[in-house]
A and B are shown apart, each in its own frame.
Chain A
């Protein structure tokens, strides 16, 4: 039995170090500044272990029983702490206090373990032998954990599952003691408790993904004021002071502080270049912000908005913060909302003889996957011909020509291959960075002589700036995005992940 207890030293040492590493990694992950987070977490943890060692003197009787209780507690607390911290991150104002309280509690419990074990084993070994053996296993466990953690645990299990797994190992030490050690007072009820904790940890281990999902909102800067999962996407609205931000599937769609730059740039170079635009089609744009700009043209009689997700158009038609932002555009009697798949709608509408549009604004999410990539394809742009007149014009939001240069020019090449005359332009939107658009039509586009009054950003002079492409965004061959070969999605993935990895 005593040699087995020495093995348990190895287990608890491994667990102890894993908890410390989990807390440190999590703190730097959630709070940033990894040097500060790691050193404060490690300092707090080690000093807490000191407190634990000191407290162990007050345990006088039933050493094995108390040791088992400590194992159950540390298993539950240490094992569940990653999940707990993730969940609490956005719900608690003083997250740091929770974090350090957790680190201290786990540290204290881990600090009690070794002194208690030494006392349990003191009659079974020579003192010198005992100390050498216990600390050998202790440090070997630490080495084991420190190698395992970055190489296997984090990449394969993630922090939450790692926590639960080692919590279970800790509790298993207690289970083993409670079932095999003779004459522990009160062993029976503790056995039940140990098994219940073990099962709870197991359940946590299995359902770790759900916990990650719940905690996902934690990654947003600002306070989450609305979160909603629809069959199509996760809609999250955050607020930080005056800044209202919309995220779809974790990607920023606009910041209320500078969205006027984006939407004025998207809408006006197109709309102001048309003589008397009457019928307008918006594909995407369920936030109503492009629509707000379109409605500044009094000649417009009808706007058809095709946005897949009814939850989006409903949210932006009803939430007072949002209707204030889009000037209640979605309530316009000129608007007809179609909550359908754009490609499917387009083919049906063309077949049903839908009258042509003067202007088409394509304001879709970036081509980050194969589903959305279809709406940037040659086939889609060709199918659009059926809803256009010779003088009609299209504008496409087409990601950042600076970050994703090939992606941007691939959209341009695709439009050109679909038979359009293409005019590229770009502008700077602080929350997005350098952003690109493409104008397309059967005839070349000519810059508008004047714009509606009251615009905050776009004017004739700014338009000239937008048309100029510096060398680092200049044309590169992007290729043509086809349904059967989605080059664009591959470009996008390559360029944006290179950009994100650089940070």
Chain B
């Protein structure tokens, strides 16, 4: 072999080697952390030992739990100038409406929008007037919303067949038969939206308990949504995907695991209108519903005690609640005239000891979720429709992502944070929870990064951070038979001076329900104590 030949082969080999390295370069590790409800602390409830109370406090009302229901109860109590405390286990109040923030933007950790409230959502509308979300009413009586809080256009896009299309109803490559079926389904839903039961109430309403009691309608709750689709002859693959997606988005579980009543409720309950927006517009903020949390927290800040884990609630005429303060490793006993348990039912059951009534959590099933916030050096793009607020991927286990800077008035934010939502519904909740708790931060990041880069190869090298949050019990599941079944009816019963407030009492996990239950519980307390004017 002469020198020239050797050089050419060597160059070829070097090129091949370099290309090989380049093609197989391992994905870089991206910084970020896994947050979660304080599982260790929460789990101590199940049989941990705590020190004896070292101090006793007295207050008129103790609210246990600082999610939306607890905050709503707190705000109502404050308005009545009641003497109260709110105890929250975590460092921050807000429950699954909490948010985070970094140098780029605020971003949601869970709930991230509220649809235009229905007429029946009286409490939520009152709150929105108070916070300036509703700025007034037009001559026709329609609410005028703050322009900057209405979700900006474009609001939704769907990734299908390698392209992004406008809106979430799959259209790319969908034939005339399936499109006709869409029409039939949406007409069907429109009819349900307008329908009133024999009692004159709306068939499907928010809050859920303002819905009609018509047995014919409630029978839909005993069927799975899939069984109902079979019965009504909705067969199209794309329609079924859309409905499955919608259920997973709102309930954390698909067609087989939610009732037909709940599935229809998603489409037929939201009749809110606005003077200055389309009826299907939603209200959103960079921090998601964290914006609302922030307003509620600020209003009652003096009454809030975080890092305070309720470990025992003793029923009685003067109930007592023992609060464990992990940072001081001591227990404080609170003697109250009334207690609002603004916690999910499975927690309430563990807290309550002895007493006049049984607290049952049978039938209460909660969907686990993983939420990832990715800090990016540039906006995601992709072929087809422009980046929207909500970007959904057809047929994916993960739902897709929302863009935190979407409401920004800046022309083109250079950096952004996107929030990726993943309902862990591939296994029954307990098994999914166990599997999820077993995954390391790096494993989660790898799973998320793989999905993101598959969808957005242009983001390679542009992901600055991946922060994660695991929600073991993110939302109540409206399984067939739950919403209009015995377990929920029993849970709705209040037992003064112990009151309950949580969205799981509605069977669906939405802001309107949590907020309304909180206000109603506080009003029950005020009536009980004779404090309501």
Contact = CB atoms under 8 A, between A and B. Distances in A.
Given A188-B1, A195-B15, A341-B411, A483 B8 contact: no
A369 interface: yes
Contact of A485 (B278, B386, B411): B278
Interface in B87-145: none
Chain B interface category by residue count? 20 to 34
A272 B15 CA distance: 68
B154 interface: yes
Interface stretch (A47-55, A198-206, A214-222): A198-206
Given A203-B19, A484-B277, A192 B12 contact: yes
Contacts of B153: 370, 373, 482-486, 489
A445 interface: no
Given A374-B152, A379-B148, A343 B9 contact: no
Interface string A353-383: 0000000000000000111111000110000
B276 to A, nearest CB: 7
A199 B409 contact: no
B414 interface: yes
Contacts of B317: none
A194 B15 CA distance: 11
A171 to B, nearest CB: 12
Interface in B1-18: 1, 4-6, 8-13, 15-16
A196 B20 CA distance: 12
Interface in B365-399: 386
A371 B411 contact: yes
A196 B155 CA distance: 47
Interface in B269-303: 276-278, 281
Nearest to B411: A371
Contacts of A94: none
Given A192-B8, A192-B10, A203-B19, A486 B412 contact: no
Contacts of A196: 8, 11-12, 15-16
Nearest to A195: B12
A454 interface: no
Given A202-B19, A369-B386, A484-B153, A192 B409 contact: no
Contacts of A192: 8-13
Contacts of A195: 12-13, 15-16
B5 A188 contact: yes
Contact of B412 (A200, A202, A232, A347): A232
A484 B152 contact: yes
A186 B6 CA distance: 11
B15 A199 contact: yes
Contact of B154 (A347, A370, A378): A370
B75 interface: no
A191 interface: yes
Contacts of A372: 411
B147 A482 contact: yes
A35 interface: no
Interface in A320-352: 341, 343-344, 347
A196 B1 CA distance: 18
Given A188-B1, A203-B19, A347-B409, A483 B12 contact: no
A469 B16 CA distance: 66
A308 B411 contact: yes
Given A196-B11, A371-B411, A372-B411, A186 B5 contact: yes
A450 B525 CA distance: 75
A189 interface: yes
A371 B5 CA distance: 57
A347 B147 CA distance: 13
Chain A interface category by residue count? 20 to 34
A460 B152 CA distance: 42
B151 interface: yes
Nearest to A200: B15
- Most chain B CB within a 10 A radius of its CB, from A188, A203, A370, A484: A484
B390 to A, nearest CB: 13
B82 to A, nearest CB: 36
Given A188-B1, A199-B19, A484-B278, A374 B409 contact: yes
B180 interface: no
Contacts of B5: 186, 188-189
Given A483-B147, A485-B278, A343 B409 contact: yes
A466 to B, nearest CB: 30
Contact of A189 (B8, B147, B154): B8
A192 B11 CA distance: 8
B277 A482 contact: yes
A483 B19 contact: no
B150 interface: yes
A160 B253 CA distance: 45
A341 B13 CA distance: 51
A193 B155 CA distance: 52
A306 to B, nearest CB: 12
Nearest to B147: A379
Contacts of A344: 409-410
A485 B19 contact: no
A489 B166 CA distance: 14
Contacts of A371: 411-412
A405 to B, nearest CB: 22
Nearest to A372: B411
Interface in A425-462: none
A484 B12 contact: no
A391 to B, nearest CB: 26
Interface in A446-500: 482-486, 489
A195 B14 CA distance: 10
Contacts of A343: 409-410
Nearest to A309: B411
Contact of B9 (A191, A203, A370, A484): A191
Interface string A294-324: 0000000000000010000000000000000
B25 to A, nearest CB: 13
B16 A199 contact: yes
Contacts of A199: 15-16, 19
A486 B12 CA distance: 54
A241 interface: no
Nearest to A231: B414
A485 B156 CA distance: 12
Contacts of A186: 5
Given A196-B11, A344-B409, A482 B276 contact: yes
Contacts of A489: 153
Contacts of B148: 379, 483
Nearest to B14: A196
Closest A-B pairs by Cβ, 8 of them: A192-B12, A192-B9, A189-B5, A196-B12, A343-B409, A484-B150, A486-B153, A379-B147
17 contacts: A189-B4, A189-B5, A192-B11, A192-B13, A193-B8, A193-B9, A195-B13, A231-B414, A232-B412, A344-B409, A370-B153, A370-B386, A371-B411, A371-B412, A374-B409, A484-B155, A484-B281
Given A484-B277, A485-B153, 4 more contacts: A189-B8, A192-B10, A193-B9, A484-B147
Interface of B: 1, 4-6, 8-13, 15-16, 19, 147-148, 150-155, 276-278, 281, 386, 409-412, 414
Interface of A: 186, 188-189, 191-196, 199-200, 202-203, 231-232, 308, 341, 343-344, 347, 369-374, 378-379, 482-486, 489
